[in-house]
């Protein structure tokens, strides 16, 4: 049989909403949203005989106020933990940037140096040995392609797993 008066389901739902509001709502909306939820939870005992029949609620004065306060604190604590996790992830990314930049520079510098050395050698021997010069210029092309493919593979490995959606302009 369905219960027509507020009961445990409503109380649990309100407490969950209160906790989630304190955790996820924008700071400007936390007070606006949590105060009515808080009042609704504290008034549930008066409106619901099923809830007020619980002996614990009758023996502990103020439990109807302490219970929503606990869920507000839980939501606020979770909000703080979320912020600390985001800050830690940001700090880790910030600390890794110099390493990534150094690795990228080393890879690119290796290939560019090889290209420059082969081009200089090809310039010097072009008139004396055209076959070797052609081979060197072929090596330059291959080295450039290898460098580009390695840079692409390296940047793909550093890319986020989930592609970000671009916002429409």
Taking only the tens place, the pLDDT of each residue in 13-47 is: 888 998 999 999 988 888 888 888 888 877 776 66
Q: Which of 61-65, 78-82, 104-108, 159-163 has the lowest mean pLDDT?
A: 159-163
pLDDT at 150 over 70: yes
| Cβ atoms of 114 and 150 closer than 8 Å | no
| Cβ atoms of 26 and 34 closer than 8 Å | no
pLDDT of 87-145, one tens digit each?
A: 999 999 888 888 878 887 887 888 888 888 888 888 888 888 888 888 888 888 888 88
Higher per-residue confidence, 102 vs 2: 102
Give me the pLDDT at residue 49, please. 58
How many of the other CB atoms lie within 10 Å of CB of 147? 18
The C-alpha atoms of residue 89 and residue 157 are separated, in whole angstroms, by 18
Three-class SS state of 2: coil
Residues sharing a CB contact under 8 Å with residue 154, sequence separation 6 or more, in sequence order: 103, 104, 107
pTM: 0.55
pLDDT mean over 49-74: 70
Return the exposure string of 30-63: e unless at least 16 CB atoms fall within 10 Å of the residue's CB, then b.
Answer: beebbeebbebbbebbeebeebeeeeeeeeeeee
Return the exposure string of 94-122: e unless at least 16 CB atoms fall within 10 Å of the residue's CB, then b.
Answer: eeeeeeeeeeeeeeeeebeebbeebeeeb
């Amino acid at each position: 049989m369905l219960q027509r008066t507020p009961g445990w389901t409503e109380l649990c739902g309100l407490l969950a909403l209160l906790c989630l509001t304190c955790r996820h709502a924008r700071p400007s909306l936390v007070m606006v949203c949590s105060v009515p939820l808080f009042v609704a939870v504290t008034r549930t005992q008066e409106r619901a005989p099923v809830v007020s029949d619980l002996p614990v609620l009758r023996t502990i004065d103020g439990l109807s106020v302490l219970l929503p306060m606990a869920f507000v604190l839980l939501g606020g604590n979770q909000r703080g933990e979320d912020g600390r996790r985001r800050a830690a992830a940001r700090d880790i990314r910030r600390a890794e940037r110099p390493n990534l930049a150094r690795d990228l520079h080393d890879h690119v510098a290796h290939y560019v140096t090889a290209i420059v050395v082969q081009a200089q050698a090809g310039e010097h021997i072009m008139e004396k040995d055209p076959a070797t010069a052609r081979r060197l210029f072929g090596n330059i092309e291959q080295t450039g392609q290898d460098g580009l493919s390695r840079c692409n593979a390296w940047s793909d490995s550093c890319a986020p797993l989930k592609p970000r959606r671009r916002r429409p302009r």
